[in-house]
Amino acid sequence: MKRRWPIWICFLLPLAWAVIVVGSCSNNQAAATADSSARSPFLNLNDSVGYVGIETCRGCHSDKHSTFTHTGMGESFGLATREKSAARFQQKAVYDAKRNFYYWPYWESDSLRILEFRLQGRDTVYKRIETIRYIIGSGQHTNSHFWVDGNTLYQAPLTYYTQEGKWDLPPGYETHNTRFQRKIDLECMSCHNAMPHVKKGSVNAFDRLPMGIDCERCHGPGELHVAQKKAGILVDTRKQADYSIVNPRRLPWSLQVDICQRCHLQGNNVLKPGKNFDDFRPGMKLSDVFEVYMPRYENSDYFVMAGHAERLAMSACFIKSNQGIETEAYNPGTHLTCINCHNPHVSVKQTRLDSFNQQCQQCHQAGSSRSSLHRCLLSPAEQKRNPKGCVSCHMPASDTRDIPHVTVHDHRIQRPQSKSQALVSGRALDLYAVNNPNPSPAMLAKAYVSWFEKFDPQEFWLQKADSLMRAYPEQMSLELRIQLDYMRHDDRSLIQRAQGLELGQTDAWTAYRMAKAWDRSQNLDKALEAYKRAYESLPLYSDFGAEYANALIRAKRLNEAQTVLSTLLREQPKNEWLWLNQGLLASLQGRSSEAITAWNRLLELNPDHLEGHLYLSEWYERLGKTGAALMHAEAAFRAHSNSQEAEKRVVRLRSLNP
């Protein structure tokens, strides 16, 4: 059986059938105050304290600001300007041989554009141009590119790999090129930016989209602190903490690590009930907001790019130094956390390797404060074979498993490993929560289902979820059971469970799953109610709107369908599914040229769209234009050689068009 490696979350690709269900986060309900924040002495953990932005901090802390803005975090996100881009532009177009598309980035005055095109011989037979609005990634490793449809955010299919100085498809796209369709949601944006805010009713439209990670992501919201300082309320911070703002150094070591691993931990992030990705504030326990699940392999030593925190946590240095209780105050003399080695206000590019080596020596050298610890087994002369010192042998830069053309440093500090030792072998046996040694059965079950959904669609994971649900029935929500039924295509069971839910109270995703089950069971009336609920809960989420409109069309409620489609098309004029249904609707209303225009609009966005070609072929055939009908049937078959419907059409139309 083919094994899929966990795809680095930054480049997580929705599986084809899961486009909609990925990112099924809860509605942004007012979060109940988390346990850890209620206990914290820091006053800015409270929901009522607002964010003020980096420019405000700059006013009084210009020293921190001046270096921080040149770090990877300070430059993590921005408008696509010539200054922001790290790329060189004189290169051949990138070719995706699988899908037969070329990609070419270029500047047109100050706008960055990406051209997607297809050749036949020397002729360009198709092209689409999108303007890039934002660049994600400081360029220390990569620049990836976002475009917007109306207000909604999508990734573009081209990435610049700085370390090799080349353009290529984004990671993961080489096997599954989703072109311009990958939605950028809060999960993604909240690791790469100051606190963003998703527009109500949407998943990938933002009404607050700052320009890069800022001070408050590590210090918490600053409103109260600024108000106090302006009012002259000062604290002598050499003697005591200023509780109006979080200084991570003053936190217990585990809460301090939680700040960094809020973002530097890659895995399957599973939200606690009622929580969302913007609920974490520095000083909270990360596991109060979400748990991060990783697979455990039979023989495991793999390592992924955003996995710094997980890798460090596997090191004897980390485990043995932080053996004390979690709430113990951080002490750099005994504990080991990220900030022993990193000053987050200064980039690693500006940090001499020596300063890292000194950290090793503080613990591992004779005469150091911790001279009982082991020393290097190599003699000083042998160590000198690598003039860059301890870290170059014990924290080597390696390829990451899931990103091509990128190297990062392995943060698992250990005896040097040979390349073959470092490879994963065996199969994934289980999942574990990196930031919670004792996850609840409900969270673990949720993790299994979403792992199946997002990373590894093997029945094995659903079986694990199922047995947990049987063992702890009273702890499992109906929504989670419905999700499991949905993954298993067990419509009968799903419908039975749905009886226990009030449709008006369900979240959009559960409603959608119910709609699908009813729809497949030929109960269009029930399905319509549930599609409507999904649509009305997330009215700017075009996928739900398109499905609702489609069901309305099938129920012959054409005027209502038109309202949904027109509203959404005004917001997102480049959505394929909306145009497909718009064409269908117009054709049913006998507006022939409008139908053709809508379907052609769809094919301009996606020249390989199966249904688009088939509908057009059928329509032209009805109009007696069998030549055009054949052309579209052939195009459908070229792009989808496994479609029997396309094949049958081609054969039949060829017999009509000798």
Q: Which of residues 520-549 bind ligand HEC (CB under 6 A)?
A: none
Distance CA 633, CA 618 (A): 9
By the rule CB under 6 A, 340 interacts with ligand HEC: yes
Q: Residue 80 CB, nearest distance to ligand HEC (Å)?
A: 13
Tokens of 645: 């419907």
**Site map 376..405 versus ligand HEC, x via CB under 6 A:** xxx----x-xx--xxx-xxx----------
Contacts of 457 (CB under 8 A, 6+ apart): 15
Distance CA 154, CA 633 (A): 30
Total site size for ligand HEC, rule CB under 6 A: 108
CB 276 within 8 A of CB 31: yes
Q: Would you mind telling me the total number of residues written for the chain in this entry?
A: 658
By the rule CB under 6 A, 582 interacts with ligand HEC: no
By the rule CB under 6 A, 309 interacts with ligand HEC: yes
* 383-387-391 Cα angle (round to 5): 75
Tokens of 633: 């049937």
CB 266 within 8 A of CB 306: yes
Instruction: Scan for tokens 């993590």, then name that residue.
Output: 76
CB 462 within 8 A of CB 295: no
Q: Residue 591 CB, nearest distance to ligand HEC (Å)?
A: 39
Q: Residue 454 CB, nearest distance to ligand HEC (Å)?
A: 12
By the rule CB under 6 A, 136 interacts with ligand HEC: yes
By the rule CB under 6 A, 187 interacts with ligand HEC: yes
By the rule CB under 6 A, 321 interacts with ligand HEC: yes
Q: Please classify residue 390 by burial: count the beta carbons closer than 10 Å to its beta carbon, then call 0-12 exposed, 13-18 middle and 19+ buried.
A: buried
Q: Residue 500 CB, nearest distance to ligand HEC (Å)?
A: 33
Whether the CA torsion 205, 211, 217, 219 is positive or negative: it is negative
Q: Residue 201 CB, nearest distance to ligand HEC (Å)?
A: 21
Rg (CA), the chain: 27
Q: Which is nearer to ligand HEC, 266 or 510 (CB)?
A: 266
Interacting residue with ligand HEC among 7, 20, 169, 317 (CB under 6 A): 317
Distance CA 280, CA 558 (A): 44
Window 40-79: residues binding ligand HEC (CB under 6 A): 52, 54, 56-57, 59-61, 64-65, 68, 71-73, 76
Stretch that binds ligand HEC, among 18-26, 132-140, 196-204, 511-519 (CB under 6 A): 132-140
Distance CA 162, CA 587 (A): 49
Contacts of 389 (CB under 8 A, 6+ apart): 353, 354, 357, 360, 383
By the rule CB under 6 A, 551 interacts with ligand HEC: no
Instruction: Scan for tokens 């001279």, then name that residue.
Output: 371
Tokens of 225: 């602190």
Residue 108: how many CA atoms within 13 Å on its side-chain side?
A: 9
**Site map 10..39 versus ligand HEC, x via CB under 6 A:** x-----------------------------
Instruction: Scan for tokens 């004897």, then name that residue.
Output: 316
Tokens of 429: 């046996």
Window 227-256: residues binding ligand HEC (CB under 6 A): 229-230, 234-235, 237, 241-242, 245, 247-250
Whether the CA torsion 46, 50, 55, 60 is positive or negative: it is negative
Q: Which is nearer to ligand HEC, 79 or 471 (CB)?
A: 79
By the rule CB under 6 A, 122 interacts with ligand HEC: no
Q: Which is nearer to ligand HEC, 317 or 530 (CB)?
A: 317
First to last CA, the chain: 45
By the rule CB under 6 A, 132 interacts with ligand HEC: no
Interacting residue with ligand HEC among 361, 398, 477, 600 (CB under 6 A): 361
By the rule CB under 6 A, 188 interacts with ligand HEC: yes
Distance CA 268, CA 283 (A): 22
Q: Residue 169 CB, nearest distance to ligand HEC (Å)?
A: 13
By the rule CB under 6 A, 155 interacts with ligand HEC: yes
Window 400-419: residues binding ligand HEC (CB under 6 A): 408-409, 411, 413-416
Interacting residue with ligand HEC among 345, 516, 574, 640 (CB under 6 A): 345
Q: Residue 41 CB, nearest distance to ligand HEC (Å)?
A: 11
Q: Residue 403 CB, nearest distance to ligand HEC (Å)?
A: 8
Interacting residue with ligand HEC among 198, 213, 603, 616 (CB under 6 A): 213
By the rule CB under 6 A, 142 interacts with ligand HEC: yes
